[in-house]
Structures are given as structure tokens and as C-alpha cells.
Amino acid sequence: MPGVASHGRISHGDANGDEASGGSAPPGVPDLVGPGLKVVFCGINPGTLSGETGYHFARPGNRFWPALHGAGFTDRRFDPSEQEQLVALGVGITNLVSRTTAAASDVDPAELRAGAERLTALAQRWAPRAVAVLGVLAYRRAFRRPHAAIGRQDDRLGPSQLWVLPNPSGLQARYQLPELTEMFSVLRSACER
């Protein structure tokens, strides 16, 4: 497969495949992707703490890590600082937009649409079984699907199943942890078939 390192290392490049060089971190939070992934979770964009630490879903109130564990993707609850271990478990993480903001609502619709193109390129390059966009409103804007609902989509993203799940941010109160965990569990089951 073009662009895939034969030794299977984690790509810390952006969704366009541009690799970080010289030991300096790319702007934002680096992608955690590689060959053979079951799923790539796609956040909207890094929040302030994620931008400061370089870790996805870094804010303590974010429900991504407990939902990931509760759904059985991991055998224990990971700390954001352990994120690189996910790739070995078949789980990747990226964002639609790499720019750090205090709130996802600060992201411009044009940035989301450009992010959809980058995410499509990432799916083409790494061919995970599924890509799960975390945030239905962001998905609707990025992919111009104004009536999309939570769950598996009829569309595919390159070779990958396409899913839309709720934003796990603690600021999003509509879906509580048990519901979010159940949705992550349905996704995990689909990725194992």
C-alpha cells in the first residue's frame, strides 16, 4: 500500500500524510494512525488542554477514555498520556481540524469541510475498518449531510465504514456515559466482524 511504512510505525503526520520532522511536533495534536487499525476516532479539534499537552481528549471531564474502556476497546481506562499504546490495540485518533480552540464552536465551517477532505485522505491511506466522527453537528457541516443521525452511515469513507457518534466532551450533556459507552460498544462489535 503506498505511503504505509513497512515496519508499521505510528504516523505522527497530519491527515495529508505529511510526517513530522526534526523531532519537532506538528501544530495541534498529532494523528495516531497506522496500518491494520480497526477504527480511527475523529474528534472535532483539539481543546486548549489537548493543545498544551499534545494528548487527544486531555480534559479530565472528557468521556472518551472511560467510554473506550467501557466498550472493551481497552482492558483498562487509559490516561491521555498513554494514547500511543492505542495503535497496537487497533485504535487510532485524529481530528477534523488541527487548530486548537477553547470550544469546538470556534471552528469555522470551511475548516470542517477541509477536514472532511483530510479525513477521507487518511481513510484512503490507512484503510481502517471504520472511521468514527465524534460529533454529529460537526459531521453534518464537514460532510454536507444536514440530516445525518448518530450511528453507522450508509456512505463509506474510502474503504472504511463511516460512523457518527456523540461528542464525548464533558460539555455535551445530551448523552451520558452509559449511552456513549453503549454506542462505542456497537461500533466495536461492528469492527470485529
Q: Could you read off the pLDDT of 91-145 as tens digits, one per residue?
A: 999 999 999 887 778 899 999 999 999 999 999 999 999 999 999 999 999 999 9
Q: Is residue 12 in a domain?
A: no
Question: Do 27 and 98 form a contact (C-beta atoms < 8 A)?
Answer: yes
- 6 DSSP 8-state letter: T
Q: Is residue 49 in a domain?
A: yes
Task: Name the more confident of 1 and 59.
Answer: 59
**Which residues lie below 8 Å from residue 99, measured CB to CB, with a gap of 6+?**
27, 28, 45, 46, 107, 111
Task: Determine the pLDDT at residue 18.
Answer: 40
Q: Is residue 13 in a domain?
A: no
Q: Is residue 4 in a domain?
A: no
**pTM, two decimal places:** 0.86
Q: How many structural domains is the chain composed of?
A: 1
Q: Is residue 16 in a domain?
A: no
Task: Determine the pLDDT at residue 20.
Answer: 33
CATH number, residue 124: 3.40.470.10
Q: Is residue 1 in a domain?
A: no
> Which residues constitute the domain of residue 186?
39-192
133: burial class by Cβ within 10 Å (0-12, 13-18, 19+)?
buried
Q: Is residue 11 in a domain?
A: no
The pLDDT tens digits for 6-54 are: 223 344 444 433 433 233 334 569 999 999 999 999 999 998 999 999 9
Rounded to whole angstroms, the Cα distance separating 49 from 39 reads 24
Task: Determine the pLDDT at residue 28.
Answer: 67
Rounded to whole angstroms, the Cα distance separating 163 from 140 reads 12
Task: Determine the pLDDT at residue 153.
Answer: 98
Q: Is residue 3 in a domain?
A: no
